[in-house]
């Protein structure tokens, strides 16, 4: 499992994939990332320390991801990240958080005192597909409400059951409302949710220009950031 890498195509940054406690939700129908969760805090802290020791601070930008939310990392790991922000002169931190942690975000940003980009797996702006089909348990009444706690939505493309109209709406909202986001082409995994190759082929032709848009990370595969398996 690769756990440290550098993103050099857009918004250059170091990225680490750490170990965390089980995701607070853990019920998304398409997600088997939670298999990387752990409950042995000593083991997680030691592994995470080994990964974090590779951070150089060369870009001043760090992205921290795990198989849950940032807030499920061991406390020792979080303290180590806070220390690294100071010692490595990190001025921008990307983290991921589920909707269920949204009330913590404002205080967290204030506590750090640096630029913090909150990423979250919204998957689609279609509420029915997101919650009934994917079982995300992410609810909001408007994009403005979503923006009160999310800076960078993560969207998935190419899931059986999605439609072209749904994806067109997703891309329209992303590009008109957010200065950062991640677009991931869905890859089959151990869950019953399957990839729609025809839809992905259409998307790659229709939205090829988004690969070059500096605002958005575009992942043909979940491992394109250089971490994961």
CA atoms within 13 A on the CB side of 153: 25
| Residues forming beta bridges with residue 93, ordered by sequence position | 62, 116
Q: Over the stretch 8-44, which tens digit does the pLDDT of each residue have? A: 988 999 999 999 999 999 999 999 888 889 999 999 9
User: Which pLDDT belongs to residue 35?
Assistant: 82
Q: Over the stretch 117-164, which tens digit does the pLDDT of each residue have? A: 999 999 999 999 999 999 999 999 999 999 999 999 999 999 999 999
Q: Which two tokens stand for residue 88?
A: 């490595």
Please tell me whether residue 205 adopts helix, strand or coil conformation: helix
CA atoms within 13 A on the CB side of 100: 12
Cα dihedral value 163, 151, 117, 3, nearest 10: -10
Just give the CATH number of 4-225.
Answer: 3.20.20.70
Q: Which residue has the tokens 């409400």?
A: 145
Cite the beta strand spans of the chain per DSSP E.
4-7, 13-18, 61-66, 92-96, 115-123, 152-157, 181-185, 216-219
Whole-angstrom Cα distance, residue 116 to residue 208? 28
Q: Over the stretch 51-98, which tens digit does the pLDDT of each residue have? A: 999 999 999 999 999 999 999 999 999 999 999 999 999 999 999 999
pTM of structure: 0.95
């Amino acid at each position: 499992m690769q756990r440290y890498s550098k993103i050099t195509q857009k918004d250059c940054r170091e990225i680490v994939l750490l170990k965390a406690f089980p995701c607070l939700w853990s019920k998304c129908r398409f997600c088997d990332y939670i298999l990387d969760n752990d409950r042995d805090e000593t083991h997680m802290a030691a592994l995470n320390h080994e990964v974090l020791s590779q951070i150089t601070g060369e870009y001043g930008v760090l992205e921290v991801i795990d198989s849950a939310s940032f807030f499920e990392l061991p406390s020792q790991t979080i303290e180590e990240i806070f220390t690294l922000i100071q010692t490595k002169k990190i001025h921008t931190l990307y983290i991921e958080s589920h909707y269920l942690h949204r009330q913590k975000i404002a205080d967290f940003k204030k506590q750090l005192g640096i630029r913090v980009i909150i990423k979250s797996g919204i998957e689609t702006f279609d509420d029915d597909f997101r919650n009934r089909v994917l079982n995300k348990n992410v609810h909001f009444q408007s994009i403005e409400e979503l923006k009160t706690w999310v800076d960078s939505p993560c969207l998935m493309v190419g899931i059986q059951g999605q439609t072209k109209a749904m994806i067109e709406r997703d891309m329209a909202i992303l590009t008109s409302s957010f200065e950062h986001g991640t677009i991931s082409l869905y890859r089959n995994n151990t869950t019953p949710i399957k990839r729609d190759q025809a839809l992905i082929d259409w998307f790659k032709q229709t939205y090829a220009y988004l690969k070059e848009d500096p605002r958005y990370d575009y992942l043909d595969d979940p491992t394109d950031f250089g971490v994961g398996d």
